[in-house]
Structure 1
Amino acid sequence: MSTKDQILEKDKKETDDNNNNKKTTTSSQSSKPRSNKFDKVIIKSNGVCYITEGVIGNGSFGVVTQAIVADTKEVVAIKKVLQDQRYKNRELQIMKMLNHINIVSLKNSFYTSDNDEVYLNLVLEYVPDTVYRVSRHYSMSKQPVPNIFVKLYIYQLCRSINYIHSLGICHRDIKPQNLLLDTSTSTLKLCDFGSAKILIKGETNVSYICSRHYRAPELIFGSTNYTTTIDVWSLGCVLAELLLGQPLFPGENGIDQLVEIIKVLGTPTKEQIHAMNPYYTSFKFPEIKANPWPRVFKAKDVPPESIDLISKILLYDPSSRLKPVEICAHPFFDELRDPKTCLPDGKPLPPLFNFTIAEQTSIGQKLAKILIPSHAMNQIELPSPLFPNLAISSSNQSSSSNSNTNVTSNLNSHSASPSTTSSSSSTPNSIPVQSPSTTNNNNTTTTTTTTSNH
């Protein structure tokens, strides 16, 4: 079978031409309005009682319901996923590793059973909206997403991606639908780690991954040795979409997706193809010249800094793409580092500089002088590997684990010019184990009542 036939064969597996809306998230994004009537389910697990309030999202991997913790009245989202008892759920294992302001937090997990099937339930923080819905609102109103919001969303997304990459985790499904948004504060949280995986050098991974419009070209070329840079490509696609009001590469299938990319970036050279997949040698392309980036955005009033940034992200060669932390340091985001900048309604910006110790380690001294403005030094977590002379305020020593630890120090003025340097598994959501963990099943009960939602 030729390489082209192999790609076409893979493309037949796509049963939904618009699979960008297919996967489950923890926010309300269903195209159907919530019914006035639903089965209210009371779930008791390990001493905690949850009262479900209705379905807020569903997809091929499960269903998400909004629920209330009976004792505290806290609103949460419960993602219910069918569990293959031969495997330990990879999403749960990864979620337990994560603790970041721009990543949806895992509050609890438990197992339930129904008709001899075992389901994993992830209790997640509830975030009311998504970048997808917000951007669609502006698009339908024939208005561009305000630049301040574009900067805020992409900057926070970069922070979340930089954090998971520092742990060796690749999300593998970055898209607007998986970017939860609290519109009251403009705080963004990355969600849906159902496709995420810790990438290990030398181990192969499935190439048929990531929603089509945000799929890196090396995946289309069938690479199984890709890196976390596929997330960076997806990030660049999200940025371009926010600026254009529509997907930059709106392919209708796998082959068409590559055609859309070539129409903008031009035909990849042999060297670029080798960088994406050294084993891909039999496919020939017509010679098409690259479309200059300013021309791609000519119909839109976009800042030149954003075009420059996109040109350094959406590159064929994965190793040439900017790293997430380098993206954060790009001049496009300088406005966010200005202490006078606020939201359009006058409210302060969400936390942007409360870098954890792990984040600071990945930043490095050079970029730190750009990423952490002097007015925000009191936001970083201590003890700081970047600024060892910073002293923890005596009144806050007991809370040094908080990423917003107050600090006191005599700081010299920092200034610098912005730097813009640039195993295959049939069940990608699972990790094989000897036996499933179903301990929580013994402590979980459910009660169903039908109520009317007024």
Structure 2
Amino acid sequence: MADDKEISAPVVDTGHIISTTIGGKNGEPKQACITHWTISYMAERVVGTGSFGIVFQAKCLETGETVAIKKVLQDRRYKNRELQLMRVLDHPNVITLKHCFFSTTTKNELFLNLVMEYVPESMYRVLKHYSSANQRMPLIYVKLYTYQIFRGLAYLHSVVGVCHRDLKPQNVLVDPLTHQVKICDFGSAKVLVKGEANISYICSRFYRAPELIFGATEYTTSIDIWSAGCILAELLLGQPLFPGENAVGQLVEIIKVLGTPTREEIRCMNPNYTDFRFPQMKAHPWHKVFHKRMPPEAIDLTSRLLQYSPSLRCTALEACAHPFFDELREPNARLPNGRPLPSLFNFKQELSGASPELINKLIPDHVKRQIGLQQFMHPAGT
């Protein structure tokens, strides 16, 4: 990943027009590309910056479509992992890559431009909206947003084998009209291979799983489950559950709620960790973490996600089936404005390998009657 000096180049001026040829090997979208054509984008505004580069909103001059373009400095010696992953991703709750192209600067620097669908809001901005109004997010939205996060994770983890490794409210996009949610930013994502070491300094601090703080390098996709649990708690509380100021402070915040981890729990997080000197604290009861009127199902799900032992955390698909989300499965479930919910039960490959009991919980009776249960019990390609 480029450092700050290297990424000072990708400045995007409002009104700047980028023309590129789409098609062939480099810019090929998921669909088979038969011909080449020139397409032009006008940069409209910067929507995100970071050590990775820059994300800007742009308009396609040929179609009028608004897109998001992520521009990153590309090392000519290597393939871009984010591009390789995004080319195979195809799910309603994961951001869609439309195509890509390369551009250069006068300094002969090479930039990769990932052209993606544009989603106007992030969960971070939605949270800020409620916080500035001194309000809590309505529970129906908490359920709707977190359910879709878990559905996206179920696809990433079980279908394509990808661990996101940086799940946080800034990387969850929300369509304010349909309330469809999409996980974005796969710059840290990786296909985890058992027995292969990974870096432990990954994931934004407030959402970093404890095994990462303990320096584990052979972690699993359950680090994403921890992050999703932190997001759920934040939506319920209106503020981060574990707001540590540094790595040690982050662990202290976790211990304040979960209590001091046992030696066995530390072993489960990182077998190579040998320093057991921690302040001895008892777990804070979950029902005292939240306000008195918090539904017990919300507290129960949070407690199942935020476990020290990675193997004890529920999977993304198990989280989707939790009773906390039963309201979404009601036949007459609607948004507060009376509009229908976004599609929540058009499962495909995610159900491969799931038990009949789990599938039965995931698919509401009214959906089974409409579509037929058979296709869920035997998903295509299984």
- The residue aligned with 1:127 is 119
Aligned-partner residue type, residue 369 of structure 1: N
- Give the counterpart of 1:355 among 344, 347, 353: 347
Matches of 1:56 and 1:330 in 2, distance apart? 35
- Once the two structures are superposed, residues 367-420 of structure 1 have per-residue CA deviations (whole angstroms, 9 ceiling, x without a partner) of 1111111222377799825158xxxxxxxxxxx99xxxxxxxxxxxxxxxxxxx
Matches of 1:258 and 1:370 in 2, distance apart? 35
3-state secondary structure, aligned to 1:77: strand
Matches of 1:134 and 1:374 in 2, distance apart? 32
**Which segment drifts farther, 310-319 or 370-379?**
370-379
Is 1:309 equivalent to 2:301 in the alignment? yes
Matches of 2:369 and 2:70 in 1, distance apart? 36
Q: Answer yes or no: is the 8 Å Cα contact 1:179–1:189 preserved in 2.
A: yes
Aligned-partner residue type, residue 181 of structure 1: V
Matches within 5 A, 1:307-346: 307-346=299-338
Q: Which runs of 5+ in 1 are unaligned?
A: 1-14, 16-34, 389-399, 402-454
- Once the two structures are superposed, residues 234-292 of structure 1 have per-residue CA deviations (whole angstroms, 9 ceiling, x without a partner) of 00000000000000000001110000000000000000000000000124112110000
Matches of 2:378 and 2:165 in 1, distance apart? 33
Shift of 1:57: 1.4
- The residue aligned with 1:137 is 129
- The residue aligned with 1:111 is 102
Aligned-partner residue type, residue 303 of structure 2: S
Matches of 1:73 and 1:384 in 2, distance apart? 38
Shift of 1:303: 1.1
3-state secondary structure, aligned to 1:38: coil
- Displaced runs of 4 or more, over 3 A: 377-383
Q: Answer yes or no: is the 8 Å Cα contact 2:263–2:276 preserved in 1.
A: no
- Once the two structures are superposed, residues 61-117 of structure 1 have per-residue CA deviations (whole angstroms, 9 ceiling, x without a partner) of 011111111221111011000011121100000001100000110000111111111
Matches of 2:167 and 2:120 in 1, distance apart? 18
Q: Answer yes or no: is the 8 Å Cα contact 1:354–1:380 preserved in 2.
A: no
- The residue aligned with 2:284 is 291
- The residue aligned with 1:193 is 186
- The residue aligned with 1:67 is 58
**TM-score between both structures, scaled by the size of structure 1:** 0.75
- Once the two structures are superposed, residues 150-185 of structure 1 have per-residue CA deviations (whole angstroms, 9 ceiling, x without a partner) of 000000000000100012100000100000000101
Matches of 1:89 and 1:383 in 2, distance apart? 40
Is 1:93 equivalent to 2:84 in the alignment? yes
Give the root-mean-square deviation of aligned CA atoms: 2.0
Aligned-partner residue type, residue 40 of structure 1: H
Aligned-partner residue type, residue 167 of structure 2: I
- The residue aligned with 2:368 is 377
**TM-score between both structures, scaled by the size of structure 2:** 0.89
Matches within 5 A, 1:7-22: none
- The residue aligned with 1:162 is 154
Matches of 2:219 and 2:370 in 1, distance apart? 35
Shift of 1:365: 1.4
3-state secondary structure, aligned to 1:53: strand
Matches of 2:344 and 2:273 in 1, distance apart? 41
Matches of 1:85 and 1:125 in 2, distance apart? 26
**Which segment drifts farther, 232-241 or 78-87?**
78-87
Q: Which runs of 5+ in 2 are unaligned?
A: 5-11, 23-37
Aligned-partner residue type, residue 186 of structure 1: H
Q: Answer yes or no: is the 8 Å Cα contact 1:354–1:379 preserved in 2.
A: no
Alignment coverage as a number of residue pairs: 354
**Which segment drifts farther, 37-46 or 190-199?**
37-46
**Higher relative contact order (Cα pairs below 8 Å, separated by 6+ residues):** 1
Matches of 1:309 and 1:316 in 2, distance apart? 15
Matches of 2:132 and 2:93 in 1, distance apart? 27
3-state secondary structure, aligned to 2:181: strand
- Give the counterpart of 1:78 among 69, 72, 76: 69
- Say if 1:380 and 1:242 are closer, same or farther in 2 by CA, change over 3 A: farther
Question: Alignment identity in percent?
Answer: 58
Matches of 1:290 and 1:353 in 2, distance apart? 36
- Say if 1:144 and 1:378 are closer, same or farther in 2 by CA, change over 3 A: same
- The residue aligned with 1:49 is 40
Q: Answer yes or no: is the 8 Å Cα contact 1:130–1:177 preserved in 2.
A: yes
- The residue aligned with 2:258 is 265
Aligned-partner residue type, residue 71 of structure 1: E
- The residue aligned with 1:30 is none
Q: Answer yes or no: is the 8 Å Cα contact 1:218–1:276 preserved in 2.
A: yes
- The residue aligned with 1:180 is 173
Aligned-partner residue type, residue 304 of structure 1: P
Is 1:208 equivalent to 2:201 in the alignment? yes
Matches of 2:56 and 2:154 in 1, distance apart? 29
Matches of 1:379 and 1:319 in 2, distance apart? 36
Shift of 1:39: 4.2
**Which segment drifts farther, 208-217 or 373-382?**
373-382
- The residue aligned with 2:32 is none
- The residue aligned with 1:421 is none
3-state secondary structure, aligned to 1:346: coil
- The residue aligned with 1:277 is 270
Q: Answer yes or no: is the 8 Å Cα contact 1:355–1:381 preserved in 2.
A: no
Matches of 2:310 and 2:200 in 1, distance apart? 15
- The residue aligned with 2:26 is none
Q: Answer yes or no: is the 8 Å Cα contact 2:21–2:39 preserved in 1.
A: yes
